[in-house]
Amino acid sequence: MLAIQLALFVHVVSAIVLLAGVIGGNVLGVMARRATGLDQRRAIVALGAPFERMTTLAVPLTVISGLVALVVFGYSITDLWVLATGAVILALVAIPIVFWNKVGPQVHDALDRGDDSAAAALMRDPRAVTVGRIEIGLGFVIVALMVFRPGWPGWM
């Protein structure tokens, strides 16, 4: 019984940390995008590092603890909610690798050069805004999948 409770606790906590990292990073991104000057934008961007570390730490822990929870609770890896959760986590892992790892260094470089207009343009790029919103949406999808889990979708 303790193993089941521990598996569930670790999984829920790691998922919360993952969601906090995604949401926190995106909230700071919105604030940096709306900042009125270089110093303010630099300060806000500097605050994002802990949220990036939270996400980096939480992804493998969430995946591993999720797989343990699947075994402990006897869920099938082929259940629709399990596959959907895996797809969302995969997307949350891929987005930073594919998009933010290219845009982020360009923003930091512009800020280091003191080129506030270039940094703001990169942050306000419609693709960056859209990707940030997709990440937030995926975060809420993860929460919904955790809440509805095996009973979802009830109409199938």
Residue pLDDT, tens place only, 92-129: 889 988 999 999 999 999 999 999 999 999 999 999 99
**Euclidean distance between CA atoms 28 and 7, whole angstroms:** 31
CA-wise closest residue to 116 among 49, 30, 45, 48: 45
Residue 45, judged by CB atoms within 10 A of its CB (0-12, 13-18, 19+), counts as buried
The amino acid at residue 73 is F
The amino acid at residue 129 is V
**Euclidean distance between CA atoms 35 and 52, whole angstroms:** 20
pLDDT given at position 7: 84
- Answer yes or no: is pLDDT of 80 > 90: no
- Bigger pLDDT: 115 or 66? 115
Would you kindly state where each structural domain of the chain is located, as residue ranges? 2-151
First-residue to last-residue Cα distance in the chain? 31
- Answer yes or no: is pLDDT of 146 > 80: no
